[in-house]
Amino acid sequence: MEKFLKKHYPWVILVIMTFFITVSVLNAKNDSATFDEIAHIPAGYSYVTEQDMRLNPEHPPLLKDMIGLPLIFLNLNFDTTKQFWSGDGLNRIWDDGQWIAGKHLLYEAGNNPNQILFWARIPIIIISVFLGLFIFMWAKEFAGILGGLFALTLYAFDPNILGHNHYVTTDIGIAAFLTFAFYFFLKFIKHPTWKNAMIGGFFLGLVNVVKFSSLMAYPILGLVLLGYPLIKKISHDEVENQNKSVRTKIFFSYLGKGLAAFAISMLVVWIVYFFNTFNMTSWTISKQINFSFPLSDPNILSQTTNSMLTSLNSSSVLRPFAEYMLGVTMVFKRVAGGNGAYYLENVSSDASASYFPLVFMLKETLPFLMLIVFSITFACIKIVHNFKIALENKHVIKNIRHFLQTGVMQYMLFGFIILYSYLSITGNLNIGLRHLFPIMPLLYLLITKKVFDFLRGKHHITKKQIHIILFALLAWIILIPIVNYPNYVSYFNETIGGSKNGYKYVTDSNTDWGQDLGRLKIFLDKNPQIDKIHVDYFGGGRPEQVLREKYIQWWDSMRPIEAGWYAISVNSLQTSIYDKTNKNTSNNYAWTQNYKPVTIIGNSILIYYIPTSHSN
């Protein structure tokens, strides 16, 4: 099997990516609009047609530009005389305008919403394909062909990746471009040529215009940039001259090229923002600044931010940076403010430190979690073993230096994973596993590194036995998305009884993002006895347009509760029942607990049949 895979690996990649692309395209076609797509799609379309970033400035524009490009060929109606664009008569235009614009573009302007959704999603799928191939290429460099195939399989068959790699959001984009940036930065660290510095700076600039969470990489990159030249192994020709002057020269060479790379990254940011704000006036940006950080706010930080952004906006040359910094500061403000979501029978905008660890353990596949545990265990054993030997031989410092010289990829990626995880856990924005996507490709790579380090040097019989175990785990990993198709957004592992129970633990983009409205229609078409259904839908779709005459609008406080059929999004259900600020249980969904759901659509929409009307 090993020889076969090595010989025919291009065909193996083709098979893997064919599955990956097929299910992604099918879900792009069949999934209804998710909640956030309603804001991202009109923003992307307006960026490429209007060169104006007034919609959704809290995210950088590069991914929006990509999703907007195929839309310009659809001859869409998009009326910029509407209030969502001009702001006339709307008190919260700079916040709500993006959502109003999305509803207009998809549902109210005479366009085909399914066509818009599908073509806007294609660029995200393309990015995810490039990411998969890149992961294979990188893993192949340090673990060989089998290592590359191993890492690619971890990525391509992860149901969480398949659940989000076709949505118009920034999650897959930041995972991809951050991986690219780390690779090319590492290439510069190992071979500090001006060419590698410029390429690294270019990709660092690209990741900056994909998502602002990329800024979390800077502390790790900075530490490596400043620390590695101090411990770097000097070439044989320079051994006799190893002194402070040589080390200082190396340090300042790295520092100078690193600063040049940073300057290039900022130039990339300026260019991308320049083209996306070309038609934005200083007045428009000023309105955005004053809305997000009003001078009337007594908070000194808000006032300082307003002053800084206004100063940048006053210069036509620096104006693109004003829009960029506005987005950065908006994200910090939003993270500090939190986001209300259901988690473990509680609804709160205050984050829980257990959120991301628990959600990760519930939503990642069991074989993948086993590989993580194995990798951590093996790494710890290896560290202890090497430390004991070094201690016995009195070479502790030498061994540490050797690891820092040769293991830069491992500690750079692991350092970012730890920092990003820590900031996510301690932050105040618990709205989905998708926010951990920036670390996922790095996990695939590090797990591959550890697994193949473990295999190296093993006896051929032992290696064959380990291969059998690995093939069994990979077969399990491959089987999971096949069995769970197409319900990847709502995937949960077997520890809680599978995906059907996921909504009892956590909702939002982990479970219910509005993706299953079309599947609700299919259910109704297969059950013609249901002539009317009360619908409380959470998401970006329009149930009245999809379900037509069968649709009855419903929400939790409506009374009396009428006899008949109900379709309730689990996000709406759990938020209503467990919102402790609402003390009145007579106007929430507590009454549903007296009924057993008839079925569940895509693990995100519960179907009830209520035989008789009642008030509670």
pLDDT beyond 60 at 265: yes
Q: For 125-138, how does the pLDDT look when each residue is reduced to its tens digit (9 = 90+)?
A: 999 999 999 999 99
Amino acid letter, 474 = L
pLDDT beyond 70 at 565: yes
DSSP H stretches of helix in 104-170: 113-156, 159-164
Distance, in Å, from the CA atom of 512 to the CA atom of 425, rounded to the nearest integer, reads 22
pTM to 2 decimals? Answer: 0.94
Report the pLDDT value the prediction gives residue 433, as an integer from 0 to 100.
93
Q: For 142-177, how does the pLDDT look when each residue is reduced to its tens digit (9 = 90+)?
A: 999 999 999 999 999 999 999 999 999 999 999 999
Distance, in Å, from the CA atom of 540 to the CA atom of 39, rounded to the nearest integer, reads 9
pLDDT beyond 80 at 235: no
Distance, in Å, from the CA atom of 229 to the CA atom of 248, rounded to the nearest integer, reads 9
pLDDT range class, residue 93, cuts 50, 70, 90 = very low
Q: For 270-311, how does the pLDDT look when each residue is reduced to its tens digit (9 = 90+)?
A: 999 999 999 999 998 998 898 889 888 888 988 999 999 999
Longest dimension (CA), the chain: 92
Domain locations in the chain as residue ranges: 2-164, 171-276, 282-337, 355-484, 503-610
pLDDT range class, residue 456, cuts 50, 70, 90 = confident
CA-to-CA dists, residue 456 to 120, 178, 309, 379, 470, angstroms: 45, 29, 54, 14, 14
Amino acid letter, 236 = H
Q: For 32-48, how does the pLDDT look when each residue is reduced to its tens digit (9 = 90+)?
A: 999 999 999 999 999 99
What sign has the CA pseudo-torsion 279, 282, 284, 289?
Answer: positive
Q: Mapping DSSP to helix (H, G, I), strand (E, B) and coil, where does residue 174 land? A: helix
Distance, in Å, from the CA atom of 29 to the CA atom of 119, rounded to the nearest integer, reads 9
Reply yes or no: is the peptide bond before residue 486 cis, omega within 30 of 0.
yes
Stretch among 82-86, 205-209, 335-339 having the lowest mean pLDDT: 335-339
The answer for residues whose C-beta is within 8 angstroms of residue 528's C-beta and 6 or more apart is none
pLDDT beyond 80 at 536: yes
Distance, in Å, from the CA atom of 616 to the CA atom of 572, rounded to the nearest integer, reads 18
Task: Say if CB 76 and CB 102 are below 8 A apart.
Answer: no
The answer for residues whose C-beta is within 8 angstroms of residue 124's C-beta and 6 or more apart is 63, 66, 67, 165, 166, 167, 168, 169, 172, 173
Burial 581-608 (b: 16+ CB within 10 A, else e): ebeeeeebbbbbeeeebeebbbbbbbbb
Report the pLDDT value the prediction gives residue 592, as an integer from 0 to 100.
95
Strands 347-348 and 341-342: antiparallel
Q: For 171-204, how does the pLDDT look when each residue is reduced to its tens digit (9 = 90+)?
A: 999 999 999 999 999 999 999 999 999 999 999 9
Report the pLDDT value the prediction gives residue 460, as an integer from 0 to 100.
74
Stretch among 49-58, 104-113, 424-433 having the lowest mean pLDDT: 424-433
Task: Say if CB 484 and CB 162 are below 8 A apart.
Answer: no
